[in-house]
Amino acid sequence: MTPSLILVIIIIFIALIFDFTNGFHDSANAIATVVSTKVLTPRRAVAFAAFFNFIAAFTFGTAVAATISNIIKLEYVDAELVPLIILAGLIGAISWNIITWLLGLPTSSSHALIGGVMGSGISAAGLTAIKFSTVELAATFMIVSPLIGMLFGFLFMVAILWICRNTSKDKVDHHFKRLQLISAGIYSFSHGTNDAQKTMGIITPLLFSIGYFSTSVDPTKLPVPFWVIISAHAAIALGTLAGGWRIVKTMGQRITKLRPVNGFAAETAGAATIIGASIAGIPVSTTHVICSSIMGVGATKRLSAVRWGIARNIVWVWILTIPISALIGFSAFFLIHLFL
């Protein structure tokens, strides 16, 4: 049985709302450093970040979207269940995003989505419906990507300190205020490149479920229509424009005190990590990466410069994201399927 077209359109709209909340929730990742170092006002910073979120639509392809679209084994799941699985997964991800936003904690919208879809897929068709290699890849890089970001942040900061060792602090700050605009733009670009693709990766299975693609298309290699690419990037850019001021304070001020040079190093390290992952088709948490990059930069001053208590709380939220969003997704599918 083919799912209702109206239902699929509604779920696509909800998916774009999730993308909006992703931009809203993660806007702090892109602007916290430039705001806390007073390089840009908050209003200008979000507009700046949103622009680069959107233009990322025209680069790097859709490798991350392909990875996300393979969480559910479409060949083993009834077409009529796919929209309900995606809907319940979105409920799990959006719920976790809202909870952590209210608590002012930076967490991963990406891993919330993966957890939500995984939980709803298990609820719908059991463990055999899940391609666990995709989930394992995401879970592995949930650990690896922050470590890479932290290492890059530390190394970039050490290199900058060495290069500027004979330059006065005021002159360094003056130059890096301008350079930080470049690093913030590149980071926002990388954020759009990786995160918007995750929404594309859940819309394409929906289209497959209603026969949008030719019957000859391999369900494990679904193409992403151009209108889906543009819609996803527009939604995340609009979400970034809305901003997430609660999280800005945690990111930009509570982890470690930042100067423009620190912000430049953290953003450059984060962008390098995320762009590399995007090219490889690996969905990573931009939140995890920028947090750890800031920690790496802060650690070059001295280990006590990083407020490890705040960092520890953030790590606990990271660990809980996939299981809690999976539990919500599992429960949401059960209730939806019960009443529909």
Q: pLDDT by residue for the chain (340 residues), tens digit each?
A: 566 888 999 999 999 988 887 787 666 666 766 776 677 777 777 788 888 889 988 887 888 999 899 899 988 888 889 999 999 999 998 898 788 878 777 677 788 899 999 999 999 999 988 988 888 887 788 778 888 999 999 999 999 999 988 888 888 888 888 788 888 889 888 888 888 898 999 999 999 988 888 877 888 888 999 999 999 999 998 888 876 555 555 554 454 566 788 888 988 999 999 999 999 888 888 877 888 888 888 888 766 656 666 566 667 777 888 899 999 999 999 999 888 7
At residue 255, φ and ψ (nearest 5 deg) are: -75, -50
- End-to-end Cα separation, the chain, in angstroms: 15
Amino acid identity, position 234? A
Tokens 């994201």: give the residue.
321
Q: Tell whether 301 is covered by a domain.
A: yes
For residue 122, give both structure tokens.
Answer: 């298990």
In whole angstroms, what is the distance from residue 291 CA to residue 247 CA? 11
Instruction: Report the pLDDT value the prediction gives residue 86, as an integer from 0 to 100.
Output: 95
Q: Tell whether 84 is covered by a domain.
A: yes
3-state helix, strand, coil in the chain (%, to 5): 80, 0, 20
In whole angstroms, what is the distance from residue 106 CA to residue 60 CA? 26
Q: Tell whether 132 is covered by a domain.
A: yes
Instruction: Report the pLDDT value the prediction gives residue 33, as an integer from 0 to 100.
Output: 65
Instruction: Report the pLDDT value the prediction gives residue 255, as an integer from 0 to 100.
Output: 46
Instruction: Report the pLDDT value the prediction gives residue 285, as an integer from 0 to 100.
Output: 82
Spatial neighbors of 244 by CB under 8 A, at least 6 apart, are: 24, 25, 26, 27, 28, 101
Instruction: Report the pLDDT value the prediction gives residue 28, as an integer from 0 to 100.
Output: 64
In whole angstroms, what is the distance from residue 102 CA to residue 97 CA? 9
Spatial neighbors of 276 by CB under 8 A, at least 6 apart, are: none
Tokens 């055999």: give the residue.
128
Instruction: Report the pLDDT value the prediction gives residue 273, as an integer from 0 to 100.
Output: 94
Q: Tell whether 272 is covered by a domain.
A: yes
At residue 130, φ and ψ (nearest 5 deg) are: -105, 135
How many structural domains is the chain composed of? Answer: 1
Q: Tell whether 153 is covered by a domain.
A: yes
Contact present, 56 and 228 (Cβ < 8 Å): no
Domain span at 226 = 5-334
Instruction: Report the pLDDT value the prediction gives residue 158, as an integer from 0 to 100.
Output: 92
Q: Tell whether 163 is covered by a domain.
A: yes
Instruction: Report the pLDDT value the prediction gives residue 318, as an integer from 0 to 100.
Output: 73
Q: Tell whether 340 is covered by a domain.
A: no
Q: Tell whether 195 is covered by a domain.
A: yes
